[in-house]
Amino acid sequence: MSAASVHSAVEPAETPLTPESWGKLGMWIFLAGDAVGFGTLLAGYGAMRLTSADWPSPYEVLGINLTALMTFLLICSSVTMVKGLEWLGKGDRARCKLFLFLTALGGAIFVSLQAYEWTHLIHRGLHINGNPWGASLFGTTFFLVTGFHGLHVTGGVIYLLAIIRYVANRPEPRASYNAVEIVGLYWHFVDLVWIMVFTFMYLI
Amino acid sequence: MASAEHKHPNYMAIFWYLAILTVVEIAVIYAPLAKLTIGVLLCALALGKAALVAMYFMHLRFETRTLGMVAITPLAIATLLVFLLLPDGFAVAKRTAGEKAAAEAPAKH
């Protein structure tokens, strides 16, 4: 059974925006909505920070060594994600599953490091309603934005594990190509958002 | 299947670009430049990295132009929102400063 026949059986009509599948369009629309959510949080953060007289300097207070490592980890997990899709395109299900697993592992390590970072910062006095360094909104926005992103990574890890199972259970490797491409869109989006969060909340 | 064949950018090259740009970002914050210059540079670098991820990892470069418009809209909305919120933020900051001055004034005599 060819992949094309599987697709025509599942999706009889084509979408002009994403000719491969409706699912891909659905994910793009979801991501655009989610991006508005993150955009609103970051825009609100920017406006509050610009108008605050005593905003602490983030990279001095938070430290960026660990976060730079986390950024690198997410970039690496994006690469394993595209490699997984590439292997599936070549019909190699085992390698695809391996790379998807590595991607999920990267996400799990990222969330663990974030938990470590939060614990460390809370012990140093950074709280959601105040901190020793200046504007109390600094802690509020920090935990809200990084927490919202961390939840996305956690969701992504669960989503990836579910897709590994899905890939394993398809009768033919390429039948799951579309599903893997869609989980990839979500994962790269989480990476993209972290690039923004890292820049605006840690570096600037 | 068509989608498996038509897009194979050099993923490792993109990875190296992203890694190098991250190192540049960290170097920029320690550079002896004005705060505003550093801020503008960091925004530009972040947008560049985000564009690389969207264009190549998310294959936006190989998609229809309309899908690109869908993807870019949130950025436009967020940018607009900063300017919508700023006047209110400055007004609150000014009032808070005024209240603080008023609260401190009677304590002096």
Q: Secondary structure of A11-35 in the HEC alphabet?
A: CCCCCCCCCCCHHHHHHHHHHHHHH
Q: Of B5, B7, B18, B73, which to mutate for an interface test with A (greatest number of A Cβ within 10 Å)?
A: B18
The pLDDT of residue B9: 84
List the domain range (segments joined by +) for residue B75: 64-109
Specify whether B51 is located in the same domain as B71. Answer: no
Taking the CA of residue A155 and the nearest CA in chain B, the distance in Å comes to 19
Residue A60: both structure tokens together: 């001095």
Q: Which residues contact B53 (CB under 8 A, 6 or more apart)?
A: A78, A188, A191, A192, A195, B14, B18
Question: Cβ separation of B46 and A196 shorter than 8 Å?
Answer: yes
Residues from chain B contacting residue A83 (CB–CB below 8 Å)? 11
| Confidence band for B107, pLDDT divided at 50, 70 and 90 | low
Contact A159/B at CB under 8 A: no
The Cα A99–Cα A106 span in angstroms is 10
pTM: 0.89
| Confidence band for B2, pLDDT divided at 50, 70 and 90 | very low
**Residue A17, phi then psi, degrees to nearest 5:** -75, -45
The pLDDT of residue B3: 45
The Cα A190–Cα A64 span in angstroms is 19
Higher local confidence (pLDDT), A15 or B18: B18
For CA atoms A10, A12, A18, A20, the dihedral sign is positive
| Confidence band for A1, pLDDT divided at 50, 70 and 90 | very low
Specify whether B73 is located in the same domain as B97. Answer: yes
Specify whether B38 is located in the same domain as B68. Answer: no
The pLDDT of residue B106: 67
- Only one residue has tokens 């390698």, namely A95
Architecture of the CATH domain A28-203: Up-down Bundle (1.20)
- Report the residue of chain A nearest B63, measured CA to CA: A18
Span B92-108, average pLDDT: 78
Question: Cβ separation of B11 and A79 shorter than 8 Å?
Answer: yes
Specify whether B38 is located in the same domain as B3. Answer: yes
Specify whether B41 is located in the same domain as B79. Answer: no
Structural domains counted in chain B = 2
Q: What is the DSSP string of A107-147?
A: HHHHHHHHHHHHHHHHHTT-BTTB-TTS-THHHHHHHHHHH
Q: What is the DSSP string of B22-83?
A: HHHHHHHHTSSS-HHHHHHHHHHHHHHHHHHIIIIIS-GGGS-HHHHHHHHHHHHHHHHHHH
Question: Cβ separation of B11 and A83 shorter than 8 Å?
Answer: yes
Predicted-complex ipTM score: 0.85
Specify whether B81 is located in the same domain as B50. Answer: no
Task: Point out the least confidently predicted range of A3-17, A101-115, A141-155.
Answer: A3-17
Domain boundaries, chain A: 28-203
